[in-house]
Structure 1
Amino acid sequence: MKESDKNIENLIEKMMAESSLESPSIDFTSKIMSQVLIVEKSKIKTYKPLISKQTWILIIGALVALTVYAIASGNTTDLKINELYVEKVSDLFSGIHISTNIIYAFLVVPFMLLIQIGVLKNYFNKKYQL
């Protein structure tokens, strides 16, 4: 076992003596860094909206078609929406009493939420600046 280790060691020493020390090319670092940048750019995810443009077009088209159908299908001069439904809706909600504090909360909370979204967006844009 020791004899084979000595033979291997002698072989390695002989190979090391015959080979010369290689140095990298002058632009070695720039080549490596360009490859790193290419790999990093490929890892970046591009923005994809939740709802695609085709879906938005389909939704808008459906709403327009529904509106056109509703207008074309009935005689719009004889629609008496006020007489038919206002009384039913007012009877439905007549027993509900909402305090002014709740009304103020419904008005202020969305406004404050929008402010917080803006502040957090600016914070994270600065923190994770690309």
Structure 2
Amino acid sequence: MEEQFKNIDDIAKKLVQEAGLHQPSAHFMESVMKSVTPKTAIQPYKPLLSKRAWVFIVLGFVSMMFALYIVPATDFSLLKEFSVAEYVSFKNPFSEVKMNKTTVYGIVFLSLFMLQIPFLKHFLEKNR
């Protein structure tokens, strides 16, 4: 069995020596790179929502949560004026929420992590 593979190995060596090694032309790399690079200009990345839009979205969400937490249903003056308060009752959605300390710590650390991502991204882009 070994002799059979030895013969194949000897034959392969002979064929490689006879054929020799082919060298590419002097400007082979340049011609390949010219054919690979695109001819059109690449458009820079533009996010769907601008930073200003994200700030407004986050501020709106935070203010809504703050308003739901602070304003009790009985003091909602618009509902009293239109006498809709009899039919619709709003209550604080967070009044009965009780969280474990571990959950609170997890949420705090996750929010701190999400807060530092933009700073790290800016730092890495600045140091390139």
Q: Shorter-normalised TM-score: what interval?
A: 0.3 to 0.5
TM-score of the pair, normalised by structure 2:
0.32
Greater RCO between the two (CA within 8 Å, min separation 6)?
2
Structure with max Cα Rg: 1
Report which of the two has the higher share of helix: 1
